[in-house]
Structure 1
Amino acid sequence: MTKNFKIFISTGEISGDLQGGLLVAALFDQAEARGWELEITGLGGQRMAAAGAKIIYDTRRISSIGFVEALRYVAPTIKFQALAKKQLQNNPPDLVIFIDYIAANLTLGNYIRQHLPVPTVYYIAPQEWIWSHSPKTTQKLIEISDQMIAIFPEEERYYKKHGANITWVGHPLVDRVKNAPNRDQARQQLGLKADELAIVLFPVSRYQEIKSLLPLFLSAVKIIQAQLPQARFWLSLSLAQYRAEIAATVAEFGLEIPILEEPLLLIAAADLTLAKSGTVNLEIALMNVPQVVVYRINPFGLWLYQTFLKFDLDYVSPPNLIAMEPVVPELLQENATPDKIAATSLDILQNPQTKAQMLAGYDRVKHLAGEPGAVRRAAQSILNLLAQETATVNW
């Protein structure tokens, strides 16, 4: 007899939706192999929906970094949490999966612990092992999770040390980049000549970054253009709803930059990427493309974090966090200026030693990211827990 299970997934931001989409596809695939049928609902975005999940609220619309930047999303966050609780009450799942998104998932996890006797899994746990607010936060994350699934080796060590039931599966992006076109195919598709340099911008995945980061990137482009007339530029679009405003900003700078929604194609063709800090940094590293990482948040918000939460990171980009060394240059806050972005970019493009050193660092990152099959292993682990819990209940 076919087994039918309901799974609820809670995540936010574009990176969470990307990881959620990969996981949803793997869950359906592994469930089919067992002769199971799944119904997956939750909070996420278009990638999860495309993989077959029913999305009750698109949380990509309210993503932000920084205390001040997040204030505008307080009301929408309350709204989607209320929707999630209503969904859980009216249609109780057999299992709940949290993906990153610490504030919302801690709240939802506490609610589930108090009101629903269902097993919970934290996949891609918040990076407490890097920037722990307090041991209490770590303990709360463990308390709302029957199982945790780690994508970094250090993540597994940290949470296991604090008593978590956790398993390391490797990083899911290792599988994703396997589907990328090769360099020659990508450059041919973009119409690049052999002597042309391709520089790709990844400046925006949140609305706030159109104002805070995009002008920095475009100002740097103008400086690089003056030094390297053979360079051509592209901009990777993370959300279609941002296209008009991004295009208008590009035009204001007097630039003509194609805007595409094909990140893997653009990375494959690139000689260099200028990227905001985020998941894309790891994709770029796994595809062996040099990069410059840039980020800024509201200075007052940063001061609050540093003063009250003792927030002081050595690194912010995933390649540097995985290796715990400066594999890629990070230009943050007051160092995130057009002149410094341009100078760092030119050094990479014109100095073979700088590029070679970065690529050697990428080899270390790849080793620590694990073997292919991470998402499949995560899905198997989740379904094993579901089978175990179901067997216990039936017994």
Structure 2
Amino acid sequence: MRIFISTGEVSGDLQGSLLITALKRQAAAAGLDLEIVALGGEKMASVGATLIGNTSEIGSVGIWESLPYVLPTLQMQRRAIAYLKQNSPDLVILIDYMGPNLAIGNYIRRNLSHLRVVYYIAPQEWVWSLNSRNTNMVVGITDKLLAIFPEEARYFQQRGAKVTWVGHPLVDRVQNFPSREDARAKLGIAEDVISVALLPASRRQELKLLLPVMFQAAQVIQAKLPNVHFWIPLSLEIYRKPIEKAIQQYNLRASVVSDKTQEVIAAADLAITKSGTVNLELALLKVPQVVLYRLHPITAWIARSVLKGSIPFASPPNLVVMKPIVPEFLQEKATPENITEAALEILVNQECRNQILADYEEMRQCLGEVGVCDRAAKEILQMLPNFEH
């Protein structure tokens, strides 16, 4: 049986790899030979997917920021469509990656209507839908939608999609993270050291817009807390040089590490982080965090003009329960002063920490039980023709 998966960016590659691992395990148990072909990244390739294109570095947020990626994205779409025309798979799985995946799904519906399509981790239309166009398209191209949030499941179900809520895959992923003690021992962090994770980027634009403000805040925190040490895990190795250069420039006590993201996050007393999937990982590991995000000023202006304040929050932990669990600073509010103040408050005020941890518990209830990837894999395999289970 052949499954084609399409996803993009660092987070899509991670989610794809977790799903593939579960699919292969269940297929093997059922005596099914499974071939997986994909648009994705190294993580998916490492668990057995054959890549027809690497999309992990093609990613941006915003209209202005996406311009350099228009051509590479179109080339990937064409490559996927050419593959689907020549090698009809038994099933197509779309993971997030809205623009390209809606185009691929649309092509399938018009020209390869016999193909069945599963959307796993649908675009966040339930949070910030501007009009019904994209929502209708998601519903129209999808035979089954596997939702990761209860609210997302409700939203798409009300609009006519066939939906199953499976829970959030990070619930499974954090089961394999080391304990705080083990992580600190592995990184060699002494007991009296305050460990702060700095998580600036999985995209190039984020490095440019978020790193300076994050490092300026770190500089002030370091001056006030002499026993602090900063850890920066790399999402992509290509970011090492600019980050190491900035560490010297700001004179930070900081370590840059590859392939140790789990240890860095698990060992942290606090994270200063961009908005994204990592916010949920931190919440599930009970690490307090300060979240910031900046877009290009043109994108921010367009977003404000169009959305007119309709997005209450940006970070997933706050969005899940629609309340400010963690401090988040967007655009012009993402200043070194605001970040420093919020970070120091969490580090020195036990009451503030306890409140965040209590709110994390409430949020955790909305993410489902362990076994998410297996539930998703089971739903997917049951859609294969002639699958005996």
Common fold by TM > 0.5: yes
Match of 2:265 in 1: 267
Give 2:225's aligned amino acid. Answer: L
Q: 8 Å contact 1:131–1:311 — kept in the other structure?
A: no
Match of 1:235 in 2: 232
Q: How far apart are 1:78 and its partner, in Å?
A: 1.0
Q: 8 Å contact 1:204–1:276 — kept in the other structure?
A: yes
Match of 2:126 in 1: 129
Q: Alpha-carbon deviations, 1:98-146, whole Å to 9, x = none?
A: 0011111110101111121210000001111110121121111010100
Q: 8 Å contact 1:8–1:40 — kept in the other structure?
A: yes
Q: 8 Å contact 2:229–2:253 — kept in the other structure?
A: no
Match of 2:67 in 1: 71
User: 1:249 pairs with 246, 250, 255, which one?
Assistant: 246
User: Quick one: distance in 2 between partners of 1:309 and 1:198?
Assistant: 37
User: Quick one: distance in 2 between partners of 1:27 and 1:248?
Assistant: 42
Cα root mean square deviation, aligned? 1.3
Q: 8 Å contact 2:148–2:167 — kept in the other structure?
A: yes
Q: How far apart are 1:309 and its partner, in Å?
A: 5.1
Q: Alpha-carbon deviations, 1:217-265, whole Å to 9, x = none?
A: 1111100001100111110110112212222222222334211131111
Give 2:10's aligned amino acid. Answer: I
User: Quick one: distance in 2 between partners of 1:295 and 1:147?
Assistant: 33
Q: How far apart are 1:61 and its partner, in Å?
A: 1.2
Match of 2:160 in 1: 163
Match of 2:176 in 1: 179
Using the size of structure 1 for normalisation, the TM-score is 0.95
Match of 1:55 in 2: 51
Q: How far apart are 1:310 and its partner, in Å?
A: 4.9
Give 2:270's aligned amino acid. Answer: L
Matches within 5 A, 1:86-235: 86-116=82-112, 117-235=114-232
Give 1:214's aligned amino acid. Answer: L
Question: Could you list the runs of 5+ residues in structure 2 that have no partner in the other structure?
Answer: none
Q: 8 Å contact 1:6–1:94 — kept in the other structure?
A: yes
User: 2:325 pairs with 320, 327, 344, which one?
Assistant: 327
Moved more, 112-121 or 143-152: 112-121
Q: How far apart are 1:16 and its partner, in Å?
A: 0.8
User: Quick one: distance in 1 between partners of 2:253 and 2:183?
Assistant: 20
Give SS of 2:325's match.
coil
Q: How far apart are 1:308 and its partner, in Å?
A: 3.4
User: 1:36 pairs with 29, 32, 35, which one?
Assistant: 32
Moved more, 242-251 or 49-58: 242-251
Give 1:70's aligned amino acid. Answer: S
Using the size of structure 2 for normalisation, the TM-score is 0.97
Q: 8 Å contact 2:222–2:252 — kept in the other structure?
A: no
Matches within 5 A, 1:22-33: 22-33=18-29
Question: Could you list the runs of 5+ residues in structure 1 that have no partner in the other structure?
Answer: none
Match of 2:298 in 1: 300
Q: How far apart are 1:57 and its partner, in Å?
A: 1.2
User: Quick one: distance in 1 between partners of 2:97 and 2:126?
Assistant: 15
User: Quick one: distance in 1 between partners of 2:196 and 2:303?
Assistant: 33
Give SS of 1:60's match.
coil
Give SS of 1:312's match.
coil
Match of 2:378 in 1: 380
Q: How far apart are 1:90 and its partner, in Å?
A: 1.7
User: Quick one: distance in 2 between partners of 1:270 and 1:351?
Assistant: 16
User: 1:20 pairs with 16, 29, 45, which one?
Assistant: 16
User: Quick one: distance in 2 between partners of 1:310 and 1:23?
Assistant: 36
Q: How far apart are 1:311 and its partner, in Å?
A: 6.4
Give SS of 1:36's match.
coil
User: 1:317 pairs with 303, 315, 318, which one?
Assistant: 315
Runs of 4+ aligned structure 1 residues displaced above 6 Å come to none
